[in-house]
């Protein structure tokens, strides 16, 4: 089959799926998986080749995730990684292992490996979506990341177990020792490489002032780190994550992130197409009923186990959100099931049912994460559980700044300089953390919630400044503020004429964004004209 024709078919079919899906705000992940399903029904494709290319998508994803997590942050996450991760893999793996042994009379060794495969969640889908929605910085996002990182490590003993079953002459103790040595070797290699070699190479690349050289240097570093992990017998993605984490402490972090995002998104698209290629469409259609039963059963049981584990350590809402986020089965299950098929360890029909069930669980995940908060209200309405506790503001006549964005930061800096009492509130945790580091008085919370406004002592505040540029949010916050304190001074930024009528009616001071920008441009133009006139007069005077 002509490879060019296949590539054209993949691109064309993905557009056919994704353009209509985008109108309904359905993530392109779904379109790519459906593309893979359709392409595999139309063409005979060597899936192994595409899998190798697709793996680079996960490598770049994990490297960029690593850039967001310094070694200190990972140390603070040891509970999420090692405690929650160990409990999740152990309990989910054992329970599914027992169920498959009892129901299908599969050998204990094989059934527990199936349980381990089903315990794995999708790093590619979950972390991509949490990153895009900025939810990864929230408590449930951190817990999801920690468990996913441990699952990456847990892949190693699963592969060891398969090797032991299929190669009776191998020694378990020797394989375990080799794995431990490999892990230690990788950590040492990444530390040396990331702390000393990589920053030196990047700094030299920067001095060339060539974007191509800088980008090729970054690609070299990412792939080298992944290959180093593979050399020590570990997963490519684990090496990429550790390399990103070390480089996160260098000043090149943000430029690296900006340059690699297009590569990550393109290669992840190929990865999701490869997921679709795993599906035998004829088999899936003829067994759709039993496949859906398996899918729902696996996801529900897995979510319940994760919820029960986390409920001992955190709030109900966080436990529910983490459980729902990780309820799917991950991409590495395909690798394990492929080995089962290769060595005839499991009945082929059961294997195909499991493969399609995994794909459907992955298709369901973007919808679960998109409507996570709506689903959450079915189980728990106590939104205050998620908000970090803080004391009610006691000061009077203070200023409240809603939004610690670029504008909010400048306002806070000015108020700090003038020694005017204020408090800023933002619902993006990373903004709050940044403000706390700078020493600004910033708290985490949603200013659209009346409970938060009351905690900010809105009744005693003199002024509230709303810097958010989302007209809907601004309108909602304004209404809630007026309901609690109709005499407060409210300043908002607006560019919507309809909303400006509402502000005028309620005596809200609004800054017309468009008019202010125009004024600034005209002011600058006037200064430029005056400067040129002065220069011309001086030049004429000099010539005379």
Pair 242, 127 in one domain? yes
Establish if 21 belongs to a structural domain. Answer: no
**Which pLDDT value is given to residue 310?**
94
3-state secondary structure 192-248: HHHHHHHHHHHHHHHHCCCHHHHHHHHHHHHHHHHHHHHHCCCCHHHHHHHHHHHHC
Task: Tell me the pLDDT tens digit for each residue of 114-169.
Answer: 999 999 998 878 888 887 776 776 788 889 988 998 887 787 678 767 766 776 55
Taking each helix axis from N to C end, the angle separating 253-277 and 211-231, rounded to the nearest 10 degrees, works out to 60
Interatomic CA distance for residues 169 and 150, integer angstroms:
29
Higher pLDDT, 150 or 195: 150
CATH number, domain at 449?
3.40.50.720
Place of tokens 């919820």: 307
Pair 257, 139 in one domain? yes
Higher pLDDT, 268 or 283: 283
According to DSSP, the residues that pair with 443 across neighbouring strands are 425
Check if the beta carbon of residue 444 is closer than 8 Å to that of residue 463: no
Pair 366, 402 in one domain? no
Q: Which domain holds residue 321?
A: 46-384
In sequence order, which ranges of 343-401 are alpha helices (DSSP H)?
Answer: 348-370, 372-379
Count of structural domains, the chain: 2
Establish if 6 belongs to a structural domain. Answer: no
Interatomic CA distance for residues 518 and 525, integer angstroms:
10
Could you say which of 342, 362, 384 is where a domain stops?
384
Residue 251 pLDDT exceeds 80: no
Of 217-226, 252-261, 320-329, the least confident: 252-261
Task: Tell me the pLDDT tens digit for each residue of 77-100.
Answer: 788 888 999 999 999 999 999 999
**Which pLDDT value is given to residue 469?**
73
Residue 281 binned pLDDT confidence (cut-offs 50, 70, 90) = confident
Pair 120, 55 in one domain? yes
Establish if 79 belongs to a structural domain. Answer: yes
Of 53-62, 397-406, 417-426, the least confident: 53-62
In our burial notation (b when 16+ CB lie closer than 10 A, e otherwise), range 354-383 reads bbbbbbbbbbbbbebbeebeeebeeeeeee
Residue 536 binned pLDDT confidence (cut-offs 50, 70, 90) = low
Task: Tell me the pLDDT tens digit for each residue of 440-495.
Answer: 888 877 788 777 787 788 888 889 998 887 777 888 888 888 888 888 899 988 77
According to DSSP, the residues that pair with 402 across neighbouring strands are 425, 466
Could you say which of 363, 384, 405 is where a domain stops?
384
Establish if 434 belongs to a structural domain. Answer: yes
Pair 195, 177 in one domain? yes
Interatomic CA distance for residues 305 and 302, integer angstroms:
5
């Amino acid at each position: 089959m002509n490879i060019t024709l296949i590539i054209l078919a993949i691109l064309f079919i993905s557009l056919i799926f994704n353009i209509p899906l985008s109108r309904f705000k359905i993530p392109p992940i779904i379109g790519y998986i459906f593309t893979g399903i359709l392409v595999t029904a139309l063409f005979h494709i060597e899936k192994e080749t595409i899998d190798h290319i697709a793996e680079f998508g996960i490598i770049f994803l994990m490297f960029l995730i690593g850039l967001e997590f310094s070694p200190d942050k990972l140390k603070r996450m040891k509970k999420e990684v090692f405690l929650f991760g160990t409990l999740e893999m152990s309990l989910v793996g054992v329970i599914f292992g027992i169920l498959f042994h009892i129901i299908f009379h599969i050998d204990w060794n094989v059934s527990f490996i199936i349980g381990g495969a089903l315990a794995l969640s999708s790093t590619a889908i979950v972390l991509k979506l949490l990153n895009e929605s900025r939810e990864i910085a929230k408590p449930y996002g951190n817990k999801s990341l920690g468990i996913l990182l441990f699952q990456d490590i847990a892949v190693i003993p699963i592969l060891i177990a398969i090797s032991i079953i299929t190669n009776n002459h191998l020694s378990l103790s020797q394989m375990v020792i080799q794995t431990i040595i490999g892990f230690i070797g990788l950590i040492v290699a990444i530390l040396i490489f990331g702390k000393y070699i990589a920053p030196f190479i990047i700094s030299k690349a920067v001095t060339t002032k060539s974007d191509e050289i800088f980008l090729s240097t970054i690609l070299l570093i990412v792939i080298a780190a992944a290959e180093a992990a593979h050399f020590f017998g570990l997963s490519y993605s684990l090496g990429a994550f550790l390399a990103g984490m070390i480089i996160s402490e260098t000043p090149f972090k943000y430029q690296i992130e900006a340059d690699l995002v297009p590569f990550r998104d393109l290669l992840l698209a190929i990865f999701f197409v490869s997921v679709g290629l795993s599906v035998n469409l004829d088999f899936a259609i003829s067994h759709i009923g039993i496949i859906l039963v398996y899918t729902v059963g696996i996801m529900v049981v897995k979510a319940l186990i994760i919820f029960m584990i986390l409920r001992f350590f955190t709030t109900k809402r966080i436990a529910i959100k983490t459980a729902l986020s990780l309820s799917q089965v991950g991409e590495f299950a395909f690798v394990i099931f492929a080995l089962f098929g290769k060595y005839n360890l499991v009945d082929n029909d059961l294997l195909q049912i499991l493969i399609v069930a995994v794909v459907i669980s992955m298709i369901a995940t973007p919808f679960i994460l998109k409507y996570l908060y709506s689903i959450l209200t079915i189980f728990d309405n106590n939104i205050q559980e998620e908000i970090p506790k803080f004391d009610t503001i006691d000061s009077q006549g203070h200023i409240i700044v809603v939004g610690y964005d670029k504008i909010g930061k400048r306002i806070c800096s000015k108020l700090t300089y003038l020694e005017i009492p204020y408090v800023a509130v933002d619902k993006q945790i990373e903004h709050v953390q940044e403000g706390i580091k700078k020493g600004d008085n910033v708290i985490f919370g949603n200013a659209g919630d009346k409970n938060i406004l009351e905690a900010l002592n809105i009744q005693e505040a003199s002024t509230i400044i709303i810097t958010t540029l989302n007209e809907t949010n601004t309108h909602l916050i304004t209404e809630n503020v007026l309901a609690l304190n109709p005499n407060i001074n409210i300043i908002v930024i607006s560019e919507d004429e309809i909303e400006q009528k509402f502000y005028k009616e309620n005596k809200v001071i609004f800054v017309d964004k468009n008019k202010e920008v125009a004024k600034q441009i005209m002011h600058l133009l006037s200064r430029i004209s005056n400067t040129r006139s002065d220069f011309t007069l001086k030049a004429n005077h000099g010539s005379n």
